[in-house]
Amino acid sequence: MNVPSFSPAMLQLFLNARCVAAHARSPRLKFQIAAEREKARLRKLARITVDQMHSAWMGRLPTPEPRARLWAVLGHFPSDFGVVLTHGGQEHG
């Protein structure tokens, strides 16, 4: 079984996809506005800081706990695949 990637870079891609989808739901808004609203919504649901969300958006959030919270808000759970998030990466446990 292939283990999916829960890396900071993959999280960045998923966040970007969510913002693209949010923009598609509200096409009258500029992408920047739709993306900022969606990022704020996800950040609040995940209970992470503005700085942590910015780092995640840039693909540079190494800390496991906020990454796990964001993945959970996105509906993906590393533990379902036996993955333990580590600082900047993951281990198959």
List of residues 6+ apart from 86 with CB closer than 8 A: 64
List of residues 6+ apart from 14 with CB closer than 8 A: 71, 74, 76
Confidence of residue 3 (pLDDT cuts 50, 70, 90): confident
The pLDDT tens digits for 38-80 are: 999 999 999 999 999 999 999 999 999 999 999 999 999 999 9
pTM of the prediction?
0.93
DSSP-based helix, strand, coil % in the chain, nearest 5: 60, 10, 30
